[in-house]
Chain A
Amino acid sequence: MIRFERVSKWLSGKFVLDNVDFEIRKGETFVIVGPSGVGKSVSLKHMVRLLTPDDGHVIVDGESISDASGDELARIRKRFGYLFQGGALLAWLSVAENVALPLREKTALTNDEILAKVHETLKLVGLENDGAKRPGEISGGMRKRAGLARAIITNPEIVLYDEPTSGLDPVTARTIDQLIESLRVKLGVTSVVVTHDLHSALTIGMRIAMLHGGHIVELCDPDKFVKSSRPEVRQFLEAQFITREGSWERNIT
């Protein structure tokens, strides 16, 4: 579905991505983990051409988004939903209007249809009572969930999540995990999730990639990932008290 072909990107004095090659399959939940500042957000931005590779290509469903021109780019982007790390809500609109924005601007739905859809989506992320508030009046975690609602309201085929559960309490974090999983099961959405939260990575991820020093140092399914012998992976796992011996259950409902 999304393929990185020998992608390199030079940013602030180093190769953030250095000849990176991997493919995200249709309908899977692909998780990218890695320490802070390693280029996880940068990788996501390449998938929607907010950044263009210095070298190599990013291929979305057979088309190179890195070489796409205006109209083509808009058409490819239409297939994506993007949850930004900070939510990226428009400050002067209410939460509900922010979530409604893609429908209002890009579809011919009536006002009633839009309101119904917005209510339904806000409910999915647990914000049905906060629609009237401004982004400045809600917490960071709520902003993130509102951003999530905006990303999925157009029923995109591919959703990119930049740290969907960071800054959320564990209970809400698990509901978000379940939401991501249910989008995959019910609608066949392809998800790319960037996260620090190993719990969530191991639960929803069908494959996990670890980014380190501009390279993918590990790419495998969760079971193999926990048992990986790569020092970077071990360090990352042990920092969150996950050991090779301990069992890991996928506990999504």
Chain B
Amino acid sequence: MITREPENFPPPVGMFGALGRSAVFGCRETGRAMMLFVEAVLNLRSVLTRRARREVINQMFVYGIKSLGVITVVAVFTGMILALQTGIELRKFNQEVNIGAAVMVSMLREMGPFMTGLILAACVGSAMAAQLGTMVVSEEIAALEIMSINPVRFLVMPRLAAMSIMTPLLSFYTCMMGVLGGGLVGMTQLGVSWEAYMRNATRFADMKDLYVGIFKAFLFGMIITTVSCHEGFATKEGAVGVGMATRRAVVASFLLILVVGYFITRMFYYS
């Protein structure tokens, strides 16, 4: 069951009691988030119904397309910063043209998925947690459960499907915009022509870089959805609770994106 009953525990005794309790609760919440993820994945089969498909497309629009603006700005400037920083150093060796490879590879491998993940965690994760949290507080989730409509299938599954499609696409878009931004800086600040920049960029980038980046983004999308939906469902105590759930969702998504990002990189590039 998704709706939670209030729990009564005696207050913890002393500092170690409090620490121990938060450790136990932390483990329990992690477990619950994982079960939520598994249940949402198991419910993915019902994505084949027409209503569910429409809902997925709707979520893709709400969470994906509406984030395009901010993603574009962040992506272009990330590319510009990368080009400028590396360009300044490379100029010492008259190697400015290599900013193409520097921007392309770092965007594809790291910055693209990473930036997309952070932005989606901030825009989408917070919105999901706030929406589901509000639904808990106003008893809408309870109402769904009484109507025997599984909130995981009805709410989490479409979000998970939408985000696992949208995040890789947006990540690819971020990479392209970043490369574009880098090229602009190359042309205007560093005297690298667009053709030379692009030739250099495509020569050094590998298909593997693209795949790993996309895979990372896919994982980030699922992390953001799971964490945010879980935090939303765990909301208690009214409007204040919604605020806290939103904050926890964003913070936890950020941390997980960083940590998981590191381990994916390690897995694919260091062995």
Which residues from chain A sit less than 8 Å from chain B, CB to CB? 10-12, 45, 48, 50-52, 74, 77-78, 80, 82, 84-86, 88-91, 101-102, 104-106, 150, 154
* Contact assessment for A86 and B138 in the assembled complex, using a CB-CB cutoff below 8 Å: yes
1/0 contact string of B122-160 vs chain A (CB within 8 Å): 000000000000110011101101111100001000000
Q: Which of A10, A88, A91, A104 contacts B143 (CB 8 A)?
A: A88
Q: Is B8 at the interface (CB under 8 A from chain A)?
A: yes
B5 CB-CB contact with A under 8 Å: yes
Say whether A82 contacts B143, CB under 8 Å.
yes
B: interface residue count bin = 10 to 19
Q: Tell me if A88 and B140 are in contact (CB < 8 A).
A: yes
Residues of A within 8 A of B43 (CB): none
- Interface presence of B203 (CB below 8 A): no
- Is A88 within 8 A of B148, CB to CB? no
Q: CB < 8 Å: which of B3, B8, B145, B147 contacts A106?
A: B147
Selected contact of A80 from candidates B5, B138, B146, CB within 8 Å: B146
Q: How far is the CA of A84 from the CA of B135 in the complex (A)?
A: 13
Which of chain B's residues have a CB closer than 8 A to the CB of A52?
A: 5
**A-B CB contacts (within 8 Å), total count:** 51
* A51→B138 contact, CB < 8 A: no
Would you mind naming 9 contact pairs between A and B with Cβ atoms under 8 Å apart? A11-B6, A50-B5, A77-B145, A86-B138, A88-B143, A101-B149, A104-B51, A106-B149, A150-B143
For B6, what are the chain A residues with a Cβ–Cβ distance below 8 Å? Answer: 11-12
A84 touches B143 (CB 8 A): yes
> Which 5 residue pairs spanning A and B have beta carbons closest together?
A88-B143, A88-B139, A102-B147, A84-B139, A74-B148
A-B contact sample (12 more), CB < 8 A, given A50-B3, A105-B149, A150-B143: A10-B8, A48-B146, A50-B5, A50-B142, A78-B148, A82-B143, A84-B143, A85-B139, A88-B138, A90-B140, A91-B134, A101-B147
Complex Cα spacing A52 to B8, Å:
13
A77 near B146: Cβ-Cβ < 8 Å: yes
Cα separation A182 to B135 with both chains bound (whole Å)? 32
What residues of B have a CB within 8 angstroms of the CB of A88 in the complex? 138-140, 142-143
Q: What's the Cα separation between A11 and B6 when bound, in Å?
A: 7
Question: Please, which residue of chain A has its CB at the minimum distance from the CB of B155?
Answer: A90
Q: How far is the CA of A91 from the CA of B143 in the complex (A)?
A: 13
Docked-complex contact A106 and B148, CB < 8 angstroms:
yes
Closest CB-CB distance, A80 to chain B, in whole Å?
6
Residues of B within 8 A of A50 (CB): 3, 5, 142, 145-146
Min CB distance A11 to B, Å, is 6
Across the interface, which residues of A come within 8 angstroms of B138, CB to CB? 86, 88
Question: Which residues of the other chain, A, contact B147 by a CB distance below 8 angstroms?
Answer: 101-102, 105-106, 154
B1 → A minimal CB distance (Å)? 8
Give Cα A85–Cα B3 distance, bound, in whole angstroms.
Answer: 17
Taking the nearest CB of chain A, how far is it from the CB of B138, in angstroms?
6
> Residues of B contacting A106 with CB < 8 Å?
147-149
Which residue of chain A is the closest to B137 with respect to CB atoms? A86
- B142 and A89 contact, CB distance less than 8 A: no
In Å, the complex CA distance between A67 and B46 comes to 29
Tell me the residues in window 1-37 of chain B with beta carbons closer than 8 Å to chain A beta carbons.
3, 5-6, 8
Complex CA–CA separation, A10 to B139 (angstroms) = 20
Q: Is the CB–CB distance between B149 and A77 below 8 Å? A: no
Inter-chain contacts of B3 with A (CB < 8 A): 50
B154 touches A84 (CB 8 A): no
Using CB atoms, name the residue of chain B closest to A11: B6
> Are the C-beta atoms of B5 and A82 separated by less than 8 Å?
no
| Bound complex: CA A86 to CA B148 (Å) | 19
- Residues of B close to A86: CB separation below 8 A: 138-139
Contact across chains for B5 and A89 when beta carbons are under 8 A apart:
no
What is the bound-complex CA distance between A45 and B134, given in angstroms?
19
When C-beta atoms are compared, the residue in chain B nearest to A84 turns out to be: B139
A78 to B145, alpha carbons, bound, how many Å? Answer: 10
